[in-house]
Structure 1
Amino acid sequence: MTKMKRSMTVMLALFMVVGLLLTGCSGKKEEPKNEASQADATQSNETKSNEPVTEEGSNTPTEEPVKLTWYVYSAEPKNAAAVLQKANEIIQEKINATLEFKYVNPGDYNAKMQLAMSSGEEYDIAFTASWVNSYSENANKGAYLALDDLLEKFPDLKGMLKEEIWDGARINGKIYGVPNNQIMADQPGVWLKKDLVDKYQIDPGSIKSLTDFTSVFQKIKDGEPGVSAIRFGIASAFADYYSSVVDLFAIDTKTWKVVYTPDQYTDGYKLTREWYEKGFFPQDVATLKDEASLIKAGKVFSRYSRQKPGNEAALKATNGFDVVSVVTGPAVINKGAVTSTLNAISATSKHPDKALELINLVDTNKELFNLLKFGIEGQDYTKVSDNRIEPKPDSYAMAGWMFGNEFNSYVLPGQDDNVWDQTKVLNDSAMIDPAIGFVFDRTPVENEIAQLTAINAEYLPVLSNGLEDVDKTLSALLEKRKAAGHDKVLAEVQKQLDAWRAAQQ
């Protein structure tokens, strides 16, 4: 009797299963209970349809990951291979791509990038700026891809910066580079090596003008024969603010007239010349390429430095010694600040969408950003709290401002816990350059600008480092510029500036 009951139970279970299967195969479907569940269902289906095809039972895409190359303005740091291997685990998981950093010594960066672009080399991303691997020049040459449409696909990246910042990155109305989210307030200054400041009882607070540096540098020259008092000239320190346009032209936003910049810095250049004659600069200042090694060896007392909260701690991490800072001008957000550090996508990139997706990932993923900046926990640094680390000596380090969002950065020894909150306050309180939205169209004077740029490259290092008599150098510079179309470019800038101002009213 028990055996019969078991048989009936089994049969009943079978009938129930068959009934359920028949119900599932019928054309009737239960409607979602509300609009939200309908939307969730639709979104789920759309998401699945956009996902890479995977092997059954696996979350790994069957497509080969896209390999992306990124040129960076840096010698290869120690432990780089291990850091990139770990970074690629994150990158491949998140966007099915891998990253190869192409490290270039800073002294060779301009030449290397010019060669890469002129040869049509296929690469994806490159560090670019107003001061190296010229952002505006390369964009105008067609070396970089316009990003306006692509950026709309990444609202988090686009919304990370104010619209004025994006305006500052425009060339001929288009955005060709992603500004790295960092200190946007451009505040000039100079760092001084703290052990020598203490040794010679120098009061940084007493330095209120360019001439005040002379006695300070003389003390270093007299007391430290193996140390250069200054790395290169700071002729514009403490000068009035001007909005820069096309190399040596500038806008006086008080009068809205275009002026010739060296006219404002002549006194500074002459003082720089005196410093050179006194032996304050490195002996090979005219040809020096590897300043990083010189600085790390403790053979430089001072250098220009953009001011920002936590700057002293960051410089110590880079150079290995303490510094104190002297602020030499107001905090301003201008086009130069915006274009001081960007990353552009090459016009030769085969995967521009994926390249921008990588930039977006580096800017929004805190783990990845800090990995690329500080290296691997335990190997390159010790984590002492959730957001604070202590770098290990002689370990991996990369400048975060070169490739990503510094507001995701760990805090270093010597930095305040809320250093990035302070940075935001400085950004928010800084003066916005009244001309930040002015975009100069170089097309009518492209040939003249190319000639002027070459002339500047020849003469500016001479003036900035005091290598020759200032009056003779300025006279020769202006004479060559006049012959190359100086007046024509100045008139064109003024014409476009006037039209832009009229359109604002």
Structure 2
Amino acid sequence: MKKAYLYFSIIFLLMLILTGCSINSAKGDDDIITLRWVTYDNGSIPLDAKEVIAKANKVSAEKIGVKVDLEFQPSEKINLMMASGEYYDMVFTSSWLNSFDKNAAAGCYLDITELVQRETPALYDTIGKYWDCAKLEDRIYGVPTLKDMGAEEMFRLNADYFEGQKGMTIPEEMTFDELEPFLETYKNDYPDKYPLAMDKSGVPGYLNCVERIVDGIIVIPYDCDDEAVKAIPFWECDELVNKYRTLHRWYSKGYIHPDAATIQSTAADISIPVRGGVAWRGYKGYSNPDQWGFNVKTSIYEGPYLSRSSEQGALFAICAACPEEKAVACLKYLELLNTDQKFRDILAYGIEGTHFEYLDNGTILRLPAGNDRYHTGLYQTGSAVSASVESVSRTILADPDQWKLVYEGYVEDGIYSRAGGFAYDPVNNEDIITAVRAVYSDYSTELCTGTSDPDKVIPEIKKRMEAAGIDELLDDINSQLQVWESQAK
């Protein structure tokens, strides 16, 4: 009897060992916290999102007892959620979509200052000095996404044509105006074509040469020589106005499509030999000849610029109404994303073997299913720095230490805004901001595409904005800037 009892006991223990994972998982189902996480859809929802999220949830449930219902939502839906007070646990926010400063100041986001340091010290240490861009009045209201924190603008040129056929040299760096000989050369060869890709958004990153306090309307130039930091209307920024003048000259010479101000996108026309781009040194994503039909070389013309707005390229904020248990779960999930590369790669690239594979040098390569069914921007689901680096192909390999080099470059070559950390509180002038934005919208598309002559339309803009109260707005911004600067010292 004792032998039989011992036999069945051993069998039972073996069953526990063999099925332990499923038993523990089932037992812990009630303890697993599920979060509603809303991120920006970037125009589409990846087809295999459900399968990828399920894969990630299996890992995060086991490691930290947290799962997510990850929603990819358009900007309009996210803005509506903020306005209506709809509940979520975490949400995508930034300087350019779902305004972080505006919503944090309005009380939409949870103050996590003490919580993040107490509950997730590894996350706190990982973000480091970049917490500043998530602070209002020295309190933390969001978790920055570590990515290209500085903006570097570049031109992407058809190397087969310019270097191979025409014998020109594409330099690693050039000024904005120095692109003109390349445009002129192509136009001479193809009079009926337009060499510079341009849609209604303008050249990508054209406003990154200034710190934007109110859109591209009120700015702080990086190259300001004044002792005091000062916000100015864009028409007083020589660098920006000269860029508009250059674009108009190119438009007048036929380098830019005459309908650029109404074109939604030029992505489908891969024959265009010159495009703008915003990336970082060492980025290989623009270099795939299979994508463009020709070899591409890039030439940096600005940056890297680092400012509050550039560092706020992507953050995740926790709802102010979130109970502490769920807030801690949000932070632990973000900590896992920032410290566990294999886990981060799931939401970044999909399922290994289906959507991507690891290459021998430590980078990843997207597979056809990854390109077609799960191709997201890294910023949509977490830090780029904590994910494996993507190679363009098996022969065009990226540097697995790319981000280390990028961040070292910020220290060595970064151009830092003197107003980094300043956040304007618009509460007293929201009506004026609405009015000047309405004026700006009548001109901005034609300015940034070169369609309008800035020397003719800027006087009109100035007159209308002055009537709308821009001088009062400037006084308020600069008053707050003076207070901020005195406190920063």
Same fold (TM over 0.5): yes
CA contact (8 A) 1:314 1:412 kept: no
The correspondence of residues 71-150 of structure 1 with structure 2, limited to 5 A, is 71-74=39-42, 75-104=44-73, 109-150=74-115
Shift in CA distance, 440/366, structure 1 to aligned 2, threshold 3 Å: same
> Are 1:217 and 1:230, in contact at CA under 8 Å, matched by a contact in 2?
no
Partner of 2:429: 445
1:203 aligns with 2:175: no
Q: Deviations over 1:310-368 (max 9, x none)?
A: 31237749966753222122423221221122222344656443333322222222112
> CA 1:126/1:432 → structure 2, altered by over 3 Å: closer, same or farther?
same
Aligned residues, how many? 443
Per the TM alignment, residue 446 of structure 1 is displaced from its structure 2 partner at its CA by 3.3
What amino acid sits opposite 1:470 in the alignment?
P
Give the equivalent residue in structure 2 for 1:359.
Answer: 334
Output one character per residue of 1:231-266: Cα deviation in whole Å (capped at 9) or x when no partner. 3534986x9955443332233542023322233222
* Equivalence for 1:332: 305
Matches within 5 A, 1:13-52: none
- Contact 1:296–1:320 (8 Å) recurs in 2: no
Q: Would you say the 8 A contact 1:180–1:402 is kept in 2?
A: no
Residue 395 of structure 2 corresponds to residue 425 of structure 1? no
- When normalised by structure 1's length, the TM-score is 0.76
Structure 1 gaps of 5+ residues are 1-53
Which of 433, 445, 451 does residue 467 from structure 1 map onto? 451
3-state DSSP of counterpart to 2:425: coil
Q: Aligned equivalents of 1:286 and 1:298: distance in 2?
A: 19
- Relative distance call for 1:201 and 1:89 in structure 2 (3 A) is farther
Post-superposition CA distance 1:259-294 (Å, at most 9, x none): 2223322222122123334454456643444x4xx4
Normalised to the residue count of structure 2, the TM-score between the two structures is 0.78
Q: Hey, what's the Cα distance between the residues in 1 that align with 2:208 and 2:375?
A: 36
Quick check: 2:204–2:276 contact (8 Å CA) kept in 1? no
Distance of 1:405 and 1:497 partners within structure 2: 30
Counterpart of 2:276 in structure 1: which amino acid? Y
Unmatched segments (≥5 aa) in structure 2: 1-21, 392-396
- Aligned in 2, Cα 1:201/1:110: closer, same or farther, shift over 3 Å? farther
- Aligned counterpart, 1:230: 197
CA distance in 1, matches of 2:357, 2:427: 52
Name the structure 2 match of 1:345. 318
CA RMSD of aligned residues (A): 3.4
With over 3 angstroms needed to count, the CA separation of the structure-2 counterparts of 1:86 and 1:56, relative to structure 1, is closer
Structure 2 matches for 1:48-67, cutoff 5 A? 60-63=28-31, 65-67=33-35
Alpha-carbon distance in 2 for matches of 1:119, 1:385: 49
| 1:406 and 2:384 are equivalent in the alignment | yes
- Pair 1:254-2:225 in alignment: yes
Secondary structure, counterpart of 1:158 in structure 2: helix
Query: 2:342 aligned with 1:373, yes or no?
Result: no
1:411 CA drift (Å): 3.1
User: Equivalent residue of 1:70, what SS?
Assistant: strand
2:180 corresponds to which letter in structure 1? T
SS in structure 1 opposite 2:28? coil
Report the Cα offset of residue 228 of structure 1: 5.7
**1:69 CA drift (Å):** 2.7
Task: Quote the residue 1:15 is aligned against.
Answer: none
CA distance in 2, matches of 1:502, 1:479: 33
Aligned to 2:250: 275
The alignment status of 1:306 with 2:278, answered yes or no, reads: yes
Q: CA offsets per residue over residues 123-152 of structure 1, 9 Å max, x none? A: 333322222333333333444333324322
Asked if the contact 1:73–1:402 (Cα under 8 Å) also holds between the matched residues in 2, the reply is: yes
Identical columns (%): 22
* 1:464 positional shift: 0.8
Given the superposition, is the C-alpha separation of residues 135 and 304 from structure 1 closer, same or farther in structure 2, using an over 3 Å criterion? farther
Q: Which protein shows a greater Rg?
A: 1
